[in-house]
Amino acid sequence: MDKIIICPDSFKGSMSSTTVCSIIEKKAKYYFEEAEIVTLPIADGGEGTVDVLLTSVGGEKVYATCSGPNFETIETYYGALDNKIAVIELASCSGLTLIKGEKDPSLTTTYGVGQLILDAAKKGFKEIIVALGGSATNDGGSGAASAVGIKFLNKEGKSFIPTGKTLREVKSIDFSDKNPLLDGIKVTTMCDVANPLLGENGASKVYSPQKGATPDMVELLEEGMRSYAEVVESSLKEEFKEIKGVGAAGGMGFGMVAFFNSTLEKGIDVVLDAYDFENHLKGASFVITGEGKFDNQSLEGKAVMGISRRSKEANVKVIAIVGDIGPNIEEAYQQGLSAIFSINRVAQDFEKVAHRSKEDLELTVDNLFRFLKELAL
């Protein structure tokens, strides 16, 4: 073996991408002492994205005070990359992990995201990346828009900051006080799903139950989002709700496109571009990647498939090591994935085996590299 690239995503709930990298790297060096080992921890738009990009590009953390998901004041940070790009994680200020107590996506806000965007603009950044993964919200990006000066008015003409519960009360929008510092700033949104805003595959029906919504609440959130979208599109005289990805993060994709003139890009592609991944692929014997669960959603373009597609173009084989494998994933083999292995050695539910994830990963990697070493000989 001449060169091995190790680039896994995190195994959510058990191991960070950096931890997964180090475990695989240790075994690679043991079995292939002469090989060049390249480690590239991956994040595709969720928690950890800022840290991964700071590792790949270089830069520093910028600390800021902003609103949390329930309008509480929190301390957080975003990334200032050496190439003068600001990277903001929605999860850092509007994330599900920040919720204390009962989850309720009808009450949460993206206001903090808008505050961080404005903070980056005030500090002179001309390019901003926003990573959408891990949200606790279903406000269609109205909170973030409010934070930068866009006003949402009810039937009495009174401005308010909408949440999922009150989106239906938005009757008109006033853009006149939108902060001019945002003019001319390039905003890119990292989005790893293709969901539209509304309907059975939309923001409310697919994702709000994961954030605590009851069946009745889901219907109310959907109704409010539909009404809100009509007002937004009527105000801007443009349609956004069917664009792939606008349903991400409780409709935050919709808000980013409508209010921040953002483009939506697959998170894994943004990270791979930052790593200059194609250059790393030159001379590689194979790539080892992975993520917590590989299923139908993975085929939409999350970490493993984003890496596989680019590696296929360079004629480099890809092996995925994952926590669990879902059904009907055969299409992955046509898109560049050569093999996929689960570390769930005893075939039990995640809750029962999460505590042994590191050990199971190490044993699975050892088994794989032992075979590859024999094959090479």
Which of residues 200, 233, 265 is at a domain's end? 265
The Cα–Cα gap between 151 and 299 comes to: 38
For the chain, how many structural domains are there in total? 2
Do the domain assignments include residue 271? no
Same domain, 11 and 53: no
Give the type of residue at 246: V
Do the domain assignments include residue 258? yes
User: CATH no. for residue 350?
Assistant: 3.40.50.10350
- The tens-digit pLDDT sequence of the chain (377 residues) is 799 999 999 887 778 899 999 999 999 999 999 999 999 999 877 778 898 889 888 999 999 999 999 999 999 999 999 879 999 999 999 999 999 999 999 999 999 999 999 999 999 999 999 999 899 999 999 999 999 999 999 999 999 999 999 999 999 999 999 999 999 999 999 988 889 999 999 999 999 999 999 999 999 999 999 999 999 999 999 999 999 999 999 999 999 999 999 999 988 898 998 889 999 999 999 999 999 888 877 887 788 999 999 999 999 999 999 988 888 889 999 999 999 999 987 666 666 666 788 899 999 999 999 999 988 75
Q: What domain range is 325 assigned to?
A: 3-43+276-376
Do the domain assignments include residue 288? yes
pTM over 0.95: no
Instruction: Confirm if 136 and 210 have CB atoms less than 8 A apart.
Output: no
Instruction: Confirm if 142 and 235 have CB atoms less than 8 A apart.
Output: no
Do the domain assignments include residue 270? no
Q: Which residues contact 10 (CB under 8 A, 6 or more apart)?
A: 16, 17, 20, 43, 46, 47, 48, 291, 292
Same domain, 241 and 283: no
Same domain, 369 and 248: no
Q: Which residues contact 315 (CB under 8 A, 6 or more apart)?
A: none
